[in-house]
């Protein structure tokens, strides 16, 4: 089992990364808008994923909320990963799989 000292640096960094990616989506950056449109998702889907990443990232960075944040991030990442795999976007899917594994780790540690 990981001690608080072992996880003290990594989870806040992971949370910051997710929160930043979520903020980018919430701001409606054009690259994300095009990607989600290509998948057939509406702008609402972009905002839902962005909000989940932002909120989940902030929660993962907070020790008391880490598990719940990891669950939120796991759900959002699984949804995005399923679309990437269905569209055979292996480069994106491989990166998302790494993020999903990190989110699941946060949910169980």
| Contact by Cβ (8 Å): 105, 10 | no
3-23 confidence digits (pLDDT tens): 555 557 899 999 999 999 999
- The tokens describing 96, both together, are 């998302």
Question: What's this model's pTM, rounded to 2 decimal places?
Answer: 0.89
State pLDDT tens for residues 50-96.
999 999 999 999 999 999 999 999 999 999 999 999 999 999 999 99
Going by C-alpha positions, the residue among 26, 17, 36 that lies closest to residue 102 is: 17
Contact of 50 with 26, CB cutoff 8 Å: yes
């Amino acid at each position: 089992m990981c001690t608080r000292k072992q996880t003290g640096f990594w989870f806040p960094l992971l949370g910051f990364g997710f929160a930043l990616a979520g903020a980018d989506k919430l701001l409606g950056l054009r690259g994300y808008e095009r990607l989600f449109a290509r998948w057939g998702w509406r702008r609402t889907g972009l905002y839902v994923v962005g909000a989940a990443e932002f909120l989940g990232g902030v929660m993962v960075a907070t020790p008391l909320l880490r598990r719940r944040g990891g669950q939120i991030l796991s759900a959002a990442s699984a949804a995005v990963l399923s679309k990437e795999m269905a569209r055979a976007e292996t480069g994106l899917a491989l990166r998302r799989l790494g993020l999903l594994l990190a989110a699941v780790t946060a949910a169980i540690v």
